[in-house]
Structure 1
C-alpha cells in the first residue's frame, strides 16, 4: 500500500488543475491589459485637455487672421481691435490647459508668431496731400522702403504662424484619434 500512495503525486492530476490556472492567468493578464489601457486613455485625455473644440475655434480664428495679413498686409492699427488683440492671448491661455509637450510648443509658437506679426506691422499712414507736380523726396522714398520691409517681415511671421497652426491642428487630430478613436 505504501508503494501505491508514494507513486501518486500532485503532478499526476495536472489536467484537473490546468483550467483553473489558465483562467487565473487570463484574468490577471486581462486586468493588467485593461489597467494599462485605462491609464493610457486617461493620459491622452489629459494631453488633449478640456474644451478641445474651443482650442480648435481659436486656431481657426488665428489662421483666418494670419491669412488676411498674408493676403493684404495690415498696418498696426488693424491689430489694435479687441478681437485681434485677444488672438494671441486666447491661444496662450489655452496652452496651460494641455499636457502634451508637442502641442504646447506649437501653441506657444502660434502666440509668439502673432505677437511678432503685430510688432512688425508698419505704423498707420498719415494722410498725404500731393499736387500733380510733387517730386518724391529721398526721405519719403526711405520711409516707403521701410514700410515695404515691415510688410515683408510681417508676412514672413504670418507664414510661420500658419505653419505652426497646421502643426498644432495635426497634433490635435492625432491626440483625438488616440483618445476618441475618430
Structure 2
C-alpha cells in the first residue's frame, strides 16, 4: 500500500503539464465559441452600419429642423436610406439590434409618406392677401411637417438605441471602448 501511495506522489509532477495544457485548450475553445457568437451577432461590416445610422441621424435632424417635402426624399443620396438600413439589419443575428434597425427604416418610410408633395411655384404680389385655399393648404402642409418631425424624433431615439447596442456588441467582440 505504501508503494502505490509513494508512486503517485513521485509521478504527479509528470502529469501537471498535460493537465494544464488540457485546461488551456478547453478554455481557448470556450473563449473562441463565445467570441464567435458575438461576432455573428455583430455581423459583417459594422462600420458600414455605423455610417448608415449616422447618415440617417443627420437626415432626421434635418427633418426636425425644417420640414421636408417629398422631392427632398427622392434625392439620389437619400433615396436608398431605408433599404440600406434594412439590408444591413438582415446581416445581423442580434435580435435587439435588428428590431431597432427595422424601426429606424420604418420611421424613414413613414416620414417620406407624411411628406407633402412638391409645392408649385406660387406667385403672389405683396399687396394681395392670401386666399382661404392658400391658407388652408399652408396649414395642412405645416401640420404634415409637424407629424414628420414627431416621427423623426422617435427615429432619433431608435438610432441612439441601435448605436448603443452596436457599441456593446463591439466591446464584447473586439474590445473597443
- So what's the TM-score if we normalise by structure 1? 0.86
Gaps of 5+ in 1: 1-6
Q: Which moved more, 1:44-53 or 1:16-25?
A: 16-25
Q: Which moved more, 1:119-128 or 1:68-77?
A: 119-128
Partner residue of 1:46 out of 40, 44, 49:
40
Secondary structure of 1:124 counterpart: coil
RMSD in angstroms over aligned alpha carbons?
1.8
Cα deviation for residue 144 of structure 1 reads 2.7
Partner residue of 1:95 out of 58, 74, 89:
89
* Counterpart position of 1:128: 122
Cα deviation for residue 148 of structure 1 reads 1.9
Q: Distance in 2 between matches of 1:65 and 1:86?
A: 12
Are 1:162 and 2:156 counterparts? Answer: yes
Secondary structure of 2:159 counterpart: helix
* Corresponding residue pairs, total: 175
* Counterpart position of 2:142: 148
Q: Distance in 1 between matches of 2:72 and 2:103?
A: 21
Q: Which moved more, 1:8-17 or 1:165-174?
A: 8-17
* Counterpart position of 2:99: 105
Q: Distance in 1 between matches of 2:97 and 2:14?
A: 47
Cα deviation for residue 40 of structure 1 reads 1.2
Are 1:28 and 2:25 counterparts? Answer: no
Cα deviation for residue 8 of structure 1 reads 3.2
* Counterpart position of 1:174: 168
Secondary structure of 1:18 counterpart: helix
Q: Distance in 1 between matches of 2:13 and 2:131?
A: 97
Cα deviation for residue 72 of structure 1 reads 1.0
Are 1:18 and 2:32 counterparts? Answer: no
Are 1:86 and 2:112 counterparts? Answer: no
Q: Distance in 2 between matches of 1:11 and 1:135?
A: 107
Q: Distance in 1 between matches of 2:13 and 2:114?
A: 74
Secondary structure of 1:123 counterpart: coil
Secondary structure of 1:83 counterpart: coil
